[in-house]
Amino acid sequence: MRTVVQRVSSASVTVAGEVVGQIESGFVVLLGITGTDTQDDVNFLTNKLIGLRVFEDADEKMNCSIVDAGGSMLIISQFTLFGDCRKGRRPSFIEAARPEVAKPLYESFVAELRAQGIKTETGRFQEHMDVALVNDGPVTLLLDSRKLF
């Protein structure tokens, strides 16, 4: 399981002209799921996200978590995070999980964040989405449950 995490001052996701998810300060999380991911990967990454200290404290140091900052998360499924571009010019998505495997893990990821008290909005799984955000900092981080980076 892999994420691109952006600290934002605002963000929204639109599907077919309808805003389906919107947050103010917090994280936009692009979530990629591979066929070998399990609930352990969900647990690892949700705990990592909740504990990341990348929000500023009173001294303008990145010392606060999303909980400390009272932030929200916007979670967007993105199978292209497992696109392999090492050969040729067309990415291979063979490592990305099939929808019937990915969707339950995506839903579990969102449910776990909500269960931990994080206000969590989403896009729509397997839909074309327009994502708008204001990256705050900019702060952008890559997380991988297999600790590949």
pLDDT at 68 over 90: yes
Q: Other CB atoms closer than 10 Å to residue 103's CB: what's the count?
A: 15
User: Is 128 inside any structural domain?
Assistant: yes
User: Is 94 inside any structural domain?
Assistant: yes
User: Is 23 inside any structural domain?
Assistant: yes
User: In sequence order, which residues have a C-beta less than 8 Å from that of residue 145 and are 6 or more positions away?
Assistant: 1, 2, 37, 40, 41, 44, 45
Bridge-based pairing state of the strands 18-23 and 26-32: unpaired
User: What CATH number should be reported for the domain holding residue 34?
Assistant: 3.50.80.10
At 70 the pLDDT is 98
User: Is 55 inside any structural domain?
Assistant: yes
Whether 38 is catalytic is: no
Catalytic residue among 38, 39, 80, 140: 80
User: Is 31 inside any structural domain?
Assistant: yes
Catalytic residue among 27, 79, 82, 109: 79
User: Is 24 inside any structural domain?
Assistant: yes
- What percent of the chain is modeled with pLDDT above 70? 100
Sign of CA dihedral 75, 6, 32, 36: negative
At 149 the pLDDT is 84
Whether 80 is catalytic is: yes
User: Is 148 inside any structural domain?
Assistant: no
Which token pair is 12?
């929204």
Mean pLDDT of 74-84: 97
Domain of residue 35 covers 2-143
User: Is 149 inside any structural domain?
Assistant: no
Whether 39 is catalytic is: no
DSSP code at position 30 = E
Q: Across all residues in the chain, what is the average pLDDT? A: 97
Catalytic residue among 78, 82, 109, 120: 78
Digit-coded pLDDT (tens) for 92-146 = 999 999 999 999 999 999 999 999 999 999 999 999 999 999 999 999 999 999 9
Query: What is the number of structural domains in the chain?
Result: 1
Digit-coded pLDDT (tens) for 15-59 = 999 999 999 999 999 999 999 999 999 999 999 999 999 999 999
